Amino acid sequence: MRIYSILTPLMLLVFVGSFTGCGGAYTPPPEAPAATAAAAIGLAYTNPSTSGWALVKDASSSPTHLVLNLVGPAGLKARGVGFNLASDGSVQFHKYADGTYLKDTGVFQLKLATPNLYSTKYPNFYEPVILIGGTKNAGKLLTVGIFQKDRAQPAQPLTAPLCQIGIDFGAATAALPSGTTIPLNLVRARIIPEDIGVIPTIPNVDWTDVLNKFRLEDIQISVGTLKAQ
């Protein structure tokens, strides 16, 4: 009985030591690999929540071709607008068949309503349309503008989209994981306001009103959230 009482504690120490002294022998199961996000196959755009100037998604958009309408505040009238929009290069600004990056929606009078009667050489000549667009910074910056040409026409109410731009899904977008937010930032925007002064009639040659009012005004255009999907 005395020998049993001595061996029992020794056996207990050996038993406990198998967990404490040899703990490194235990190998936990490997962790499951992190799920990899699927590659993007299209574009998703969420409109900004604003009632003022904004770029909003047009119903003609597709997963690979986003069409954005420029809309203005209700009740405002204007004679033209231009803006710069920047991306990080992971999308392409759409170039239309006519070579521009901007599509006219018919709100502004873009050329003289009547032929140029002041030209004796070209009496039926219409002045060119004032609609222009292009890209800079390796395609990362879009610059567009649409301005009413005929001063004799009244300023137009902004009751419909003033113009459209397009954004295309490309190879750089396809390299992004689905769900990636794509930066799309307004750099600057300006309008020709409703009141640009009245051209003086002969014999009045005072152009003060025109010189004081014929200028561009800064505006803020809200941009929504663009994601690869």
Cis (ω within 30 of 0) for the bond into 177?
A: no
- Rounded Cα–Cα distance for residues 190 and 93 (Å): 20
- Rounded Cα–Cα distance for residues 13 and 8 (Å): 9
Q: What are phi and psi of 25, to 5 degrees?
A: -75, -15
Q: Digits of tens for pLDDT over the chain (229 positions)?
A: 444 444 454 443 333 444 445 445 556 666 655 556 799 999 999 999 988 999 999 999 999 999 999 999 988 999 999 999 999 999 999 999 989 999 999 999 887 766 665 556 666 666 778 999 999 999 999 999 999 987 778 899 999 999 999 999 999 999 999 999 999 999 999 999 998 887 777 777 787 877 777 789 999 999 999 999 9
- pTM (2 d.p.): 0.77
Place of tokens 């009103």: 209
DSSP result, 149-201: --TTSPPEE-SS--EEEEEE--HHHHTSBTTPEEPEEEEEEEEEES----PPP
Q: Are 184 and 226 in contact (CB under 8 A)?
A: yes
Domains within the chain, CATH numbers bracketed: 43-109+131-148+157-228 (2.60.40.680)
